Structure 1
Amino acid sequence: LEIRGMTCSMCAQAIDVKLRSVPGVTEVAINLTTDTATVAFRPRDSETKGRLEELTGAIEDAGYEVVTARLMNCENGSSEPRGKAELVIQGMTCSMCVQAIENVVRQDLQNTTIAIHLSTDTAVVDWDTTKYSLETIQETIESIGYTVTSANELPENNSTESTSMEESWEHFTRRQEAKVQAQRRAFLSSLAGTLPILLFTMVFPHILPSHTFLNRHISIWGYDLEWQALILWILATPVQFITGWGFYKHAYFGIMSGKAGMDVLVALGTTASYGYALEGLLTGDDEAAHFFETSAVLICFVLAGKWMQVLAVRRTSEALTALMKLQSKTAVKITPGNKVSSASFNPLFDPYHEAVVPIQEVHAGDMVKIIRGASIPADGNVLFGEVSVDESMVTGESVPVLKGPGSVVLGGTVFGAAFVEVTGVGSSTALAQIVQLVQEAQTRSVPIQSFADRISGIFVPTVCTISLLTYMVWYALCSSKVVPASWYDDLGESMTTFSLKFAIACLVISCPCALGLATPTAVMVGTGVGAKLGVLMKGGEALEVASKVNSVVFDKTGTLTQGKPAITDFVRLDEENPNDWPEDDLLWMLASLERTSEHPLANAVVSYAEEHLSVDYLEQHPFAQPSNFRAITGRGASGVVQGTSVAVGNRSFANVLNISVPAQAEAVMKRLEEQGKTAILAAFNDHAYVVMGIADELKSDAAASLSYLKNTLGVDIWMVTGDNSRTAKAISRKLGLAPNRVISEALPAAKVQKVRQLQAEGRVVAMVGDGVNDSPALAQADVGMSVGTGADIAAEASDMVLVKAHVTDVCVALHLSRVIFRRIQLNLLLSLVYNCLGIPIAAGLFYPYVRTRLPPTVAALAMALSSISVVLSSLSLQLYQPP
């Protein structure tokens, strides 16, 4: 749901509560920086659209406006039908608005969840459709003062029929621009009313003719009114109640929902100024009537700050919008010309037809043409031609990658021309999945955000109490003559005016918005930076935990190594080969057996056989299907190939099959293992005939990356491998790892066991693996990192995805997490220090010593600048340089 009106965490909390109160909503995630909310819900029969309207209503009840609501997924067939909708909510201005909506949803709509993106004014709501309709949710939100401008059901399974990424980006940028323009118009309208007020208070009174006129009085309805005060009232009233109406609206709904935010403070401060001035106008207190200027300037300064804040927050989504812009609107679709067979079609030589079609009309299996300077419209495989692809925005790889026939392309800008067969379109493309992951990461709050939310929850009542006490104390001190009369007489003020200015300054300098923006803006920018570097974080919690990681467990194969094992040695044991089988026959039987296995080492055996067997031999002896096939994880495989018993595996597998390992075989295996290779034994009819050495080269950056993790980041490094101890030690020497940091001959369960052991010692553990074979260990670890996932990014059961599969990216992920989390802490510290210093200064704590007071207008400007400073602090993360 795209929500309009959120400005701080209180807005997000308000929307969250409101959406959770809609029956059937199970999960709510609000993204303050993108002004969106994601809501999971149970649909009621077929009334999913009705549920969307309920969600929209819930947000509007909270005083915000839902601009658009889009259905992303519907869990059909479940025992509790769920509905999911995206709402666009107008009226959210800060995190207190978010909290208010969250609270009302949670309270009024049972089993309803909402995720609010404050920066995009959207919310995604999930609810039980058997209990509520979308209209009910929409009404719930609108009941607390927000407006749900649109509510769209999200399509099942994010189907390709849903809104394209390009359309989403255009809509997002239009919405962001509309938000900026709305704040700009509000500021300019307040400025148009405030400038004349300043002229009548600061310029015209010093011009003799106008001074004389302004000091005259006129009798209206029995009141003796000064002309200057009357003109100020006429000019200030539209600013107070028309331009400033939004503050009153959100203040009312914030109070009603129990989530009062900045709007309450502004409304109270300006109303106190306006009310005091109005009372002075009616009673003839001309000095008090000048407070009309204070209320108008306060509103003008606050709106100026909001405008600048929106401009700054818009920049936090630059990385996300840059990714979205990569999606092409159109594609050049290729079809064979007349009398050309599709099976033998080659566009390099055969005639063909090309047509520029919308990207929505491109499907898997289609052939598209990519020309120089164009963006790759969909995932696919290069069929003909050769191109150099700039994938920097997709994988973070800064150097263009050469792609030829058979290469996979996932997105980016091309240099050259090629013909590509489409394999993935719409939401199934790698680019779409990256964007989705980044959006979801920005929606899920960091645990430290709960600290800011707790403070925000009591912030406004506390400030109001302090402001009231400030007025009462100063007035009591003036009345009791503790404060010399000269202090306020020299300023030309009464005791009431003197005390009231302290109280108003105390109200308007306070800024809960800075607290609410401290975390989401840093997460927004940080996750975008990570995406540009090829590090995808799947949520704020993973980011915070990753910043505390002090132990990393690496799976060897495919993580520290290339993941492409190849046979380097094929040694026949002559004294054990009485049948004198030709080497071709041995290779043929081994490959026939291993073709049934999916293990990487089995693939290496098959590849070696295919490379060394001649074409004529394979034509005469096609690979056979083995019988009695048996595979033991981490040990080996066995079976019968055309009457011959064949077994391939390590020593432990030979022991299981009662196959003796001769001395020659043991010597060869020892020699290979000391070279860091994996030695496996091949037996035929229960006799060992062949020893094979298989090497999986280490990645070029592996040793340097582990050294950085250990020496610079202070991380404890462990490597887990299925290799025996001799091979593992040889590899550890190349990596610079101590032998006691290597777990050898490990089955998959050993990885989980090691992670648990480290966690039991109080360590915060990250597991780095391929995301498939290592899934249990990735799930057990505090932070799971999967590498080299290609187009299947979103399917990985991990907390972080390293797209480029470089070991260096582990360093980047941990270092960037620490930098982002430190920036969040800095933002929160800045917010707290600002309020802890600003409130006492505004209340006049130091006035007896410096005899200088902070005017309410300056206090309002300081409040606006505090929020902007936090956003700028987060934006500085864009300058991050990876290690």
Structure 2
Amino acid sequence: CIVHRASCIAYASIKIIHPSKWDNMANMATTSFLLSNLHCPSCVSHIKDTLSHLDVQPSSVSPSLVTSWVTVDHEISLPIRNIQNALQEAGFEISDVVTNTKQPTTIATSKAHKAGHSNIGYLDRWISRWGAGNEPAKSKVAKRHLDNCEACRLERDVKAAEPSAIRNERTSDTVKRQDNTPLVVVNSNNAPETIWRASIAIGGMTCAACSGAITSELQEKDWIQNVVVNLISNSATVDFLGEEHQDNIVEAIEDIGYEATIDSVLDIKKLQDELSKTIRTVDILVDGMFCGHCPEKVLVSLDVFGDRVKVEKPIDIRDPVLKISYTPHVPDLTIRTILAAISEANESLSPSIYHPPTLEERSHQNHRREQFRILCRVILTLIIAIPTFIIGIVYMSLVPSSNPGRRFLEQPLHAGVSRSQWALFVMATPVYFLCADVFHLRALKEIRSMWRPGSKTPFLQRFYRFGSMNMLMSLGTSIAYISSVAQLIAAGVSPPLVPDNSTFYFDSVVFLTLFLLIGRLIESYSKSKTGDAVTMLGRLKPTEALLVVSAKSESESSDNLPGEQLLNGGNKESVQSINVDLLEFDDVVRVLQGGSPPCDGIVVHGETRFDESSLTGESKLVKKAVGDEVFSGTVNKDGPISVKITGVAGSSMLDQIVKAVREGQTRRAPIERIADTLTGYFVPMVTLIAIVTWIIWLALGVSGDLPEDYLGDSSRGWTTWSLQFAIAVFVVACPCGLALAAPTALFVGGGLAAQNGILVKGGGEAFEKASRLDCIVFDKTGTLTMGGEPVVTDFQIFPIDAEFGPQNGQECTLGSIKAIEENSSHTIAKALVSFCKSREIREAEIVDIEEIAGKGMRGRMSHDGSDILDEVLIGNEALFTDFEIPLKPEIISTLEAWKLEGKSVALAAVQRESHGWQLAAIFAISDPIRKEARSTIKAIRDRGTDVWMLSGDNQITANAVGAKVGIPPENIIAGVLPSQKAEKIQYLQRSLKAHTASLGTEHSTKRAMIAMVGDGINDSPALTTADVGIAIGSGSDIAISSAEFVLVSSNLSTLTTLLDLSRCVFQRIKLNFAWALVYNLVALPVAAGVLYPVVSGGSHVRLDPVWASLAMAASSISVVCSSLALRSGLPFLGFKVRGVVVELEVEGEGED
């Protein structure tokens, strides 16, 4: 029964969660490594084992088979170079390194580049030499630069005619003559000291005197710039110089008798940049520099802007990226004028905004590079496979033995070996060494890393946990090739009387390699498609914008871009088409019908309707007028409008969604641990099965237990005959299907969620928990109700006794209520403030104010500067009970009637000096219920999930709201403080029974899986305590929410989409796992020859190694295609959103 949710309680509730996170984050770093040879789950296990042996173990290691990125969360004390060296020593090729720390990664990247080149095959090196282009274009540009660079020409002439000492002197003089103004470069010696802002939680303050004492104490410090102490929230904000002084602030507060805890310390410059959105920092790539003087010219060109442009990172010839910061001032100081100034410094200079490649772009580059390498091998193998098929299959099997061509090929050429086998040997050799080398090189590196001196892998573990798919493929092709070569050598030592083609597997080497490479190519392509959710979101943003330029600024601008003239309020304007990167804060752009805003902004002219389904998932068009906010990525469906930019590239709602999706993709689901466990022992088990298979068949054949017809036409005996089964076992085994079963489905599911307005911040683990929810708990205010602007629907203001004086009339009462409630952030307090502002009031001056947690507020104030103080109490019925303020029966009846209508109630009382409390006013506040709430709750219950409600309101009001949305009274917990919501979630987890269970879960099935749906800020502790936290909020809530899911649209019907999608995704994961397991359990025995005794069509049933390789490729490809099928929307194959029919309420509770 809360009327006021104290801002200090809300603050403390959030503070419980965040300080520890900030403390940990301060010492933690996240580094991502892009590996070009991360292909199978054995690699995942090997990476985790390798990094676990570092001196400082990382807190988490998350390799992704889909994107080939390995994300490592580690302490800052662990150098990135150590991680990189460990990965390289383990045999992995590092293509790129991305980190959020200031540790250098250039050396690591360089080494990774070298490592990658040292590991490529001969075919790759030949292709790279063949594909290397000449430099005529670069020479032309250099000549053009030389024509425009006096210093370079002088330096060239001096080099040819004078000694180096004279040359240096003249060159220096030339540069000095050109550089007459100092450069504005930020450096540690001249830069002003950074101002920091500390947020501090303070305990022990009871009145204004306390806050005044703390303010006075802190203001005495000369390094403190500003102090703001908030008595209501029990906090302080302090601006100070020198980050090292933060402990001194705490000590100063504690020295005068108060408790102090630092909540956060932020660079105020960066904070102001984020809040005011005025300071902009950009990277500029300057092409066309060819000598050491060019960087100086670039820096000199910026002097025209003075101190308004600061160089954060200078430019040099080796690193042509310049970082600057400035405060935009349209039109004289914008990114457009800065780029123009650099271009005017020299005709050869070409500046542009530089965007470092994103994780997705680098991952796609890695995929494309890998696909190109494999495609080259596929083409070469396919070219060789055609004559191999003609000779080895057509002539040796399909053509009659009397055919002259077959008889020619079957004749021995040398050492008793037929012409056909010599031809196949010649064709199989380049395939084995040039095309299958990708498997051999990586398998050798895996073995070397495990057995190298100093390896930390336990000795025994090297025999039962080793290898990957590369090793299985390498073993399969190597056994076929080496055994065939051995037969050639044996034939040379002891020529057979009749050539026996059945003892050679050269054709198998070619076809094995072809099918394996084709399977790897298709798998790589399919995996790149499953992880393109972020890329698809990024494509929603336009690359060009129509900038509206006034006549004055157009005349001053140096950009002579064509534009169309238009009239806006009588002012002549033009529209210019520019790149989105060139937009600034406060720029006005034109958004035409069918177009998308280039950045987030506010409508300043025109009216239209927008399709926001790309961000929210809602297909209903949203009306936009002057003052309304529009988002990048949405589509204008009606007339053209003008939009004022409020967020440039990188700060839009779409950018936040992309960031949330990207973070979610790095978190693995617990079910993936099953794949890690199985595949960790897969290669040793397959190797053991292959060896045992070969030994058993060989022993049975040599001992005479097998019929002679098993051997067929082979003259080389049981050794080579039994070897075919071992090769088939090596080739047919496929752990990739197991490893790809979960991540591919989760990546596709994350993309589908984003398309429907759901951000999966918790990744795979959140998806898994959401798929088996037993109960969903709703917060009432702001979740089941609109929560935005509740209104006072009913009120009664009572006259005060005459002895209180004339100043205590209705105007004074409302003035006192307004003054008190302005210090609260609760929605009911806001409703009371709005109501008071709409009436005639007399302003009151607060002398003292006190928050009574969960019940209301109490304050003392005066009117018109009078010395007479009134004490005002405003809150709920529980507050009046504590102060023993009696209520008349008719008042109680009125309050009960309001509560039965689902309205919240608030009461106010006034007391002066020795006089007792008198009831001054009662209010009924209505928060309209969401129109989709009842239908959504019904749909959730129909899906077998229970629904509960938590409310800080009284039981009668909460029951009334529950009745309207379909929640029974026994499932409603009322009168809950914000700090108690987490305890109630824990209570439900213990008391409710679980209905579902899942593989890979770390939770006991004896307790229920609970989800909490709240606003993401005040409900932060409850969202964190729940198994699944679901936040409802706009884009501004995304960054601060502690929830695993965020519903961008704030539409409750999206919850059913979340439930259906999570269950669909995990059903697909189970299907993928089942298929991969069944495939291996069936394929391995068949490849081992258990069906060989069965005769069909006159021949024994067996799985030839060539067809085994095709089956292996089909296994992993089918798993990826199964996950991709979720996008199709086809019945039983894809995911399709089931709409919720909104039931129109007949009671009219939403009218107010």
Shorter-chain TM-score tier: 0.7 to 0.9
Letter paired with 1:844:
G
Measured in 1, the distance between the counterparts of 2:107 and 2:1075 equals 36
CA contact (8 A) 2:812 2:844 kept: no
Measured in 2, the distance between the counterparts of 1:513 and 1:301 equals 15
From the superposition, tell whether residues 398 and 824 of structure 1 become closer, same or farther in structure 2 (CA, over 3 Å).
Answer: same
Q: TM-score, normalised by structure 1?
A: 0.83
Once the two structures are superposed, residues 473-492 of structure 1 have per-residue CA deviations (whole angstroms, 9 ceiling, x without a partner) of: 11111122211001222678
Q: Give the alignment of 1:219-618 within 5 angstroms.
A: 219=414, 223=415, 225-257=417-449, 259-284=466-491, 286-288=500-502, 290-334=504-548, 337-338=551-552, 348-352=569-573, 355-411=576-632, 412-415=634-637, 416-489=639-712, 494-538=717-761, 539-574=763-798, 583=810, 585-610=812-837, 612-613=838-839
Q: 1:693 aligns with which of 905, 908, 924?
A: 924
Measured in 2, the distance between the counterparts of 1:405 and 1:708 equals 37
Q: CA deviation at 1:572?
A: 2.2
Partner of 1:10: 42
Q: CA deviation at 1:783?
A: 1.2
Q: CA deviation at 1:568?
A: 4.1
From the superposition, tell whether residues 394 and 493 of structure 1 become closer, same or farther in structure 2 (CA, over 3 Å).
Answer: farther
Partner of 1:702: 933
Partner of 1:110: none
Letter paired with 1:521:
T
CA contact (8 A) 2:602 2:643 kept: yes
Q: After the TM superposition, which of the residue ranges 31-40 and 576-585 deviates more from structure 2?
A: 576-585
Q: CA deviation at 1:168?
A: 6.1
Q: CA deviation at 1:5?
A: 2.7
Q: 2:973 aligns with which of 743, 747, 762?
A: 743
CA contact (8 A) 2:81 2:105 kept: no
Measured in 2, the distance between the counterparts of 1:735 and 1:83 equals 56
Question: Secondary structure in 2 aligned to 1:374?
Answer: coil
CA contact (8 A) 1:166 1:325 kept: no
Letter paired with 1:11:
C
Partner of 1:188: 379
CA contact (8 A) 1:574 1:689 kept: yes
Q: 1:863 aligns with which of 1112, 1116, 1131?
A: 1112
Letter paired with 1:312:
S
Measured in 2, the distance between the counterparts of 1:696 and 1:530 equals 30
Q: CA deviation at 1:42?
A: 4.7
Q: CA deviation at 1:719?
A: 0.6
Partner of 1:772: 1017
Q: CA deviation at 1:625?
A: 5.0
Measured in 1, the distance between the counterparts of 2:38 and 2:1028 equals 31
From the superposition, tell whether residues 505 and 316 of structure 1 become closer, same or farther in structure 2 (CA, over 3 Å).
Answer: same
Once the two structures are superposed, residues 10-50 of structure 1 have per-residue CA deviations (whole angstroms, 9 ceiling, x without a partner) of: 223334444555666554322221222223345579xxxxx
Partner of 1:634: 854
Measured in 2, the distance between the counterparts of 1:167 and 1:853 equals 49
Question: Secondary structure in 2 aligned to 1:267?
Answer: helix
Letter paired with 1:181:
F
Q: 2:983 aligns with which of 745, 753, 760?
A: 753
From the superposition, tell whether residues 756 and 248 of structure 1 become closer, same or farther in structure 2 (CA, over 3 Å).
Answer: same
Q: CA deviation at 1:471?
A: 0.9
Matched, 1:200 2:380: no
Once the two structures are superposed, residues 351-390 of structure 1 have per-residue CA deviations (whole angstroms, 9 ceiling, x without a partner) of: 4565555444445444444333333222333333333222
Q: CA deviation at 1:564?
A: 2.7
Letter paired with 1:385:
G
Letter paired with 1:198:
F
CA contact (8 A) 2:88 2:115 kept: no
CA contact (8 A) 1:570 1:690 kept: no
From the superposition, tell whether residues 588 and 561 of structure 1 become closer, same or farther in structure 2 (CA, over 3 Å).
Answer: same
Q: 2:406 aligns with which of 211, 218, 243?
A: 211
Measured in 2, the distance between the counterparts of 1:834 and 1:91 equals 39
Once the two structures are superposed, residues 182-232 of structure 1 have per-residue CA deviations (whole angstroms, 9 ceiling, x without a partner) of: 33322222212222212221335548454344234444xxx5543222211
Measured in 2, the distance between the counterparts of 1:740 and 1:91 equals 67
Q: CA RMSD in A?
A: 3.4
CA contact (8 A) 2:589 2:644 kept: yes
Measured in 2, the distance between the counterparts of 1:198 and 1:526 equals 42
Letter paired with 2:34:
E
Q: After the TM superposition, which of the residue ranges 659-668 and 774-783 deviates more from structure 2?
A: 659-668
Measured in 2, the distance between the counterparts of 1:811 and 1:6 equals 36
Q: 2:885 aligns with which of 637, 659, 663?
A: 659
Q: CA deviation at 1:739?
A: 0.9
CA contact (8 A) 2:40 2:65 kept: yes
Question: Secondary structure in 2 aligned to 1:596?
Answer: coil
Question: Secondary structure in 1 aligned to 2:98?
Answer: coil
CA contact (8 A) 2:41 2:680 kept: no
Q: CA deviation at 1:786?
A: 0.9
Count of residue correspondences = 796
From the superposition, tell whether residues 556 and 602 of structure 1 become closer, same or farther in structure 2 (CA, over 3 Å).
Answer: same
Question: Secondary structure in 2 aligned to 1:203?
Answer: helix
CA contact (8 A) 1:768 1:778 kept: yes
Q: CA deviation at 1:751?
A: 1.3
Partner of 2:899: 673
Q: CA deviation at 1:670?
A: 0.9
Give ranges in structure 2 of 5+ residues lacking alignment. Answer: 1-32, 117-320, 324-334, 336-351, 451-465, 492-498, 555-566, 864-868, 912-916, 992-1006, 1128-1133, 1139-1152
Q: CA deviation at 1:348?
A: 4.7
Measured in 2, the distance between the counterparts of 1:849 and 1:209 equals 34
Measured in 1, the distance between the counterparts of 2:109 and 2:654 equals 24
Q: After the TM superposition, which of the residue ranges 387-396 and 302-311 deviates more from structure 2?
A: 387-396
From the superposition, tell whether residues 676 and 188 of structure 1 become closer, same or farther in structure 2 (CA, over 3 Å).
Answer: same
CA contact (8 A) 1:488 1:494 kept: yes
Once the two structures are superposed, residues 413-465 of structure 1 have per-residue CA deviations (whole angstroms, 9 ceiling, x without a partner) of: 22333333333344433222222222222221111111111110111110111
Q: CA deviation at 1:303?
A: 0.8
Q: For the pair shown, which has the larger CA radius of gyration, 1 or 2?
A: 2
Measured in 1, the distance between the counterparts of 2:86 and 2:596 equals 41
Measured in 1, the distance between the counterparts of 2:357 and 2:593 equals 21
Partner of 1:37: 70
Measured in 1, the distance between the counterparts of 2:532 and 2:519 equals 21
Measured in 1, the distance between the counterparts of 2:819 and 2:923 equals 16
| Percentage of identical aligned residues | 32
Q: After the TM superposition, which of the residue ranges 804-813 and 462-471 deviates more from structure 2?
A: 804-813
Partner of 2:496: none
Q: CA deviation at 1:349?
A: 4.4
Letter paired with 1:662:
K
Measured in 2, the distance between the counterparts of 1:396 and 1:86 equals 42
Once the two structures are superposed, residues 238-269 of structure 1 have per-residue CA deviations (whole angstroms, 9 ceiling, x without a partner) of: 10111000101121223345541111111111
From the superposition, tell whether residues 35 and 364 of structure 1 become closer, same or farther in structure 2 (CA, over 3 Å).
Answer: farther
Measured in 2, the distance between the counterparts of 1:532 and 1:266 equals 39
Measured in 2, the distance between the counterparts of 1:353 and 1:597 equals 47
CA contact (8 A) 1:287 1:493 kept: no
Give ranges in structure 1 of 5+ residues lacking alignment. Answer: 46-50, 94-152, 341-345
Measured in 1, the distance between the counterparts of 2:115 and 2:48 equals 12
CA contact (8 A) 1:3 1:87 kept: no
Partner of 2:1031: 786
